[in-house]
Amino acid sequence: MITQINNGGMESIIRVCSTPELEQDIIIPESSFPALRAWFARPGEIITISDHKNRFYRARLAEWDGTNAVAHVFQSLPENHEPRVKITVFQAIPEKERFELILQKLTEIGVSAIVPFVSRKSLTIEERDSSQKKSHKWPEILVKAAKQCRRGIIPGLGESIKWDNLLETVHIFSKAAILSEHNGGVTITEAFKNIESGEICLIVGPEGGFLKNEISEAAQKGVVPVSLGSRILRTETASMVAASLAVYITGGFS
């Protein structure tokens, strides 16, 4: 099960009850106050809001004191501002600052959730934090990246899970793929073709890749091994390339 923290994912959408009019003020209802807090919103900041028809707008937060919120709407955004297909990336925990880079770039690309996991070659969060504690800053990285690229949601950030627990989770997705350096993987286009809605996931391994038996264990759970070609990519590069291709194939860049 993916555990959302920091009001991630859909819970972070700032929704209004009526259809906004450009160059007019609109009241943000109390039900969206948790989303404002998740964004660390302050008066004067520009925010992305959504109406009851899932249309997105840019607005300047004119008033916000914890009990009242008013925004001045100045721009409408495309109806498909967020990808129709929700993509979760399971990322093996890498060394150094690579996971921070992955969080930032996957947010910009448009994924819906990121879940760190521990494979047989990867680090644990405790090992990752032993030299310099960073994991407590991960939610803040997501918020900053989401603001920078004008997203309507903050991607969900899951608690770190073990490999066996990950395999028990993949059945909730309409399609799951795992990046494999071993022979036999299909392309991401083949794995995700004709998917226009729902939720899919990508599983990205650590430096050094997955063991062959890990790929086999995933395949037994219905996960499709996919290949990014003959070149060996760093884990952060593979994560960004695979997510970009998945978003493109499922129409998220249209």
Per-domain boundaries in the chain: 10-76, 85-249
- pLDDT at position 121 is 67
- pLDDT at position 8 is 45
Q: Which of 83-87, 133-137, 218-222 has the lowest mean pLDDT?
A: 133-137
- pLDDT at position 183 is 63
Bigger pLDDT: 105 vs 96? 105
- pLDDT at position 131 is 59
User: Under CATH, domain 85-249 is a member of which superfamily?
Assistant: SPOUT methyltransferase, trefoil knot domain (3.40.1280.10)
- pLDDT at position 179 is 95
10-76 domain in CATH 2.60.40.1180? no
pLDDT tens, residue by residue, 18-32 = 999 999 999 999 999
- Residue 185 confidence class, pLDDT cut points 50, 70, 90: confident
Q: Which of 41-50, 63-72, 80-89, 130-139 has the lowest mean pLDDT?
A: 130-139
Q: Cβ(41)–Cβ(61) under 8 Å?
A: yes
- pLDDT at position 78 is 81
Q: What percent of the chain has pLDDT over 70?
A: 89
